[in-house]
Structure 1
Amino acid sequence: MKRFPQTRRRAVVLALALGALLPAAPAVHAAPAAEWPTKPVRILVGAPPGGTADILARLFAQELQRPLGQPVVVDYKAGAAGTIAVQNMLSAPRDGYTLLLIQKGIASEVPQAIKVSYDPFKDIVPLVQLTRQGLVLVGNPGLPAKNLAELVTYVKANPGKIDVANFGIGLRGHTIGVQFNRLAGLDTGAVSYRGSPPALQDIMGGQVPLMFDGPATSMPFIKAGKLRAFAVAFPQRIAALPNVPTFAELGYPDLSEVGWMGLWAAPGLPPAVVSKLREATLAAMQAPTLRRKIEELGMEVGTPATPDELARDVRESYERQGKLLRSIQFKPE
């Protein structure tokens, strides 16, 4: 029995000697992170062509290729309020080559409007803010109201007869209409569409008189006189519509939440890849052509907020949106 400890010690010494002869196991992410990117990067867009996300994605991808030194491919995965694109990203390898470009509402609004299979705070991670924007209240030019005060008077004179279009029930374009009704003492109906383009067509055609929409999709029609812009739900006036006041200027300070478009990833991306991606993105966003186009679309270039700061903003927006939806007894579809 006394010989067992010695035998055990010899076994240990032998194992250590053999271990010294074997090659060390490589770090899990060291090589890929150091080399990234070595092939094309794919950006999933959870919206159909023609919308704000599509416009931004094509412009951004072109500029991002320069600092990355690799092609950047835009891949459309529209449907189910962006959740199809989320699922595509989550099913791809988590190596930095598949990213998502979408509004922050994919985490702060969509999970409260429809039943989703992902956790908005664990399964998707905001990496970089690309643009900031508000919503614009637009209407058919044939309306008798020429400004917001006249519009409020007109809607009050027609209780229950005026509808407001939105690009998805339970999303911000819908709930801001609920807020406006409460703040201004209005009684309007809500008509939901699958995105902004079909809703805008009906507004210009006279089927629905009003809508809260993103400036990128409304801007061409506002400029062409096919839509009238009444007010902007943003902290300050937007450069592309300098004569359109903010809701705050007109007595509605609560209608000024900032929306933003960003790059997202699945969790677990190597820190070195995140760092390279953020650096390349911030460099791409400095391109004069891209910045000018973003301004023309009624948006602002995003801030260099960190992923943690963006995640906190998403959480705060989620809580505000949830409180409002609960107040109208809204149930996810």
Structure 2
Amino acid sequence: MAFTDKPVKLVVPAPPGGTIDVFARIISDQLSQEINQPVIVENKPGAGGAVAIKYMLSQPADGQVLLVSVTNVLTESPHVVKSGFDPLKDVKPIAEMARSYMLFIAAPQFPANDAKEAIAYVKANPGKVSVASYSPGTSSQYASAILNRKAGLDMEHVAFAGSAPALAQVMGNQIPLMFDGSVTSKPMIAAGKVKLLAVAYKSRMPEYPNVPTMAELGYPEVNFSNWSGVFASSQTPPALLAKIHATLTKINASPVVRARYASTGFEPITESRTLEQAAEDVRTEYERNGEIVKAFGIKLN
């Protein structure tokens, strides 16, 4: 039974071409077939995700306008960006669907070929090396702040409004380093447009078996992954949330969706998390990031 007989809008808190946008378009195609209604993806980037979230919260809580996002808009940005909403109370996660990881990458002409060489180069060139992030107040910024502190570096953080504009600067050799999500970096690594220095996650990635993790290099705190999924206003009736959850769980198990995840660098979340478990996972991630922001004095620069 479809949860609606009207068109659905999926709001994305990022510009076209980024990780979340890619993910939303995989979901929208399948959801449209499932409910037999048009599903429109609408990009509303800005303010660390707050623009999209506040837009969703301003609409009737009837399942017609949903947020498709990576968890960072709820668990990272609100610690440093005045968001105007409570990420744990106002927004309800409906479905955990796929996961992406953080990678440490470099511009093609950067004179280091792995993270160890990159760290040595930054040390030898104090005050000269900048590092991009895909948005201020996200793990893309956290990772470089932690590395600065732990390795005694002074990389200057340059924030962008999304992966695509940041990657353009890295590929063009204007900014030498970046911590980026696996989904957006993967095609650039394959095309030789950026260099992969290390995996900023607790374990090596199957597609890069020879690339060490930051933990292996002595920086276990540089360990970031986010899950992507669908979120609603917490005002949405529980029975409707349960219906949407069931629909999205079915979509996520579809071989078509799994194949598209694999081709884009997402890893499907195969164990179905209940609505309560998803809310708990958001809370845990939020609290961990709050501690990172406090410990490393992370602010918007």
Q: TM-score, normalised by structure 2?
A: 0.92
Deviation of 1:61 after TM superposition, in Å, equals: 0.9
SS of corresponding position for 1:70: coil
Q: Does 1:309 align with 2:277?
A: yes
- Counterpart of 1:204 in structure 2 is 171
Matched letter for residue 164 of structure 2: P
Q: 1:290 to 1:198 in 2, by over 3 A?
A: same
Asked whether the equivalents of residues 107 and 173 of structure 2 are also in contact (C-alpha less than 8 Å), the reply is yes
Superposition RMSD on alpha carbons, in Å? Answer: 2.0
Structure 1 CA distance, aligned partners of 2:211 and 2:261? 18
Shift of 1:99: 0.6
Per-residue deviation, residues 112-167 of structure 1 (Å, max 9, x unmatched):
22112111111111111121111111101222211222222222222222111112
Distance 1:289 1:36 in 2: 21
Write the deviation string for residues 245-294 of structure 1: whole angstroms up to 9, x where unpaired: 32233333222232111100001322222222112112111222321222
Residue 224 of structure 2 corresponds to which residue in structure 1? 257
1:61-76 correspondence runs (5 A): 61-76=28-43
Q: What CA distance in whole angstroms lies between the structure 2 residues aligned with 1:238 and 1:289?
A: 22
Deviation at 1:296, TM superposition (A): 2.7
Q: Distance in 2 between matches of 1:256 and 1:325?
A: 14
Identity of aligned residues (%): 40
Residue of structure 2 equivalent to 1:99: 66
> Who is 1:15 aligned against?
none
Q: 1:332, CA displacement in angstroms?
A: 6.2
Matched, 1:145 2:104: no
2:286 pairs with 318, 325, 332, which one? 318
SS at match of 2:221: coil
**Counterparts of residues 1-333 of structure 1 (less than 5 Å):** 36-302=3-269, 303-331=271-299
Higher mean C-alpha displacement, 68-77 vs 191-200:
68-77
Separation (CA, whole Å) in 1 of partners of 2:169 and 2:105? 12
Alpha-carbon offset, residue 171 of structure 1 = 1.7
How far the C-alpha of 1:90 sits from its partner, in A, is 0.9
1:7 aligned partner: none
Q: Which moved more, 1:35-44 or 1:161-170?
A: 35-44
CA distance in 1, matches of 2:257, 2:167: 25
Q: Distance in 1 between matches of 2:50 and 2:184?
A: 21
Structure 1 unaligned segments of length 5 or more: list them: 1-33
Using a 3 Å threshold, how does the CA distance of structure 1 residues 70 and 275 change in structure 2: closer, same or farther?
A: same
Which secondary structure does the structure 2 equivalent of 1:134 belong to?
Answer: strand
Instruction: Describe the SS at the equivalent of 2:203.
Output: coil
Return 5+ residue gaps in structure 2 as ranges.
none
| Residues 240 and 70 of structure 1, relative CA distance in 2, 3 Å threshold | farther
1:297–1:147 Cα change, 3 Å: same
Aligned length: 300
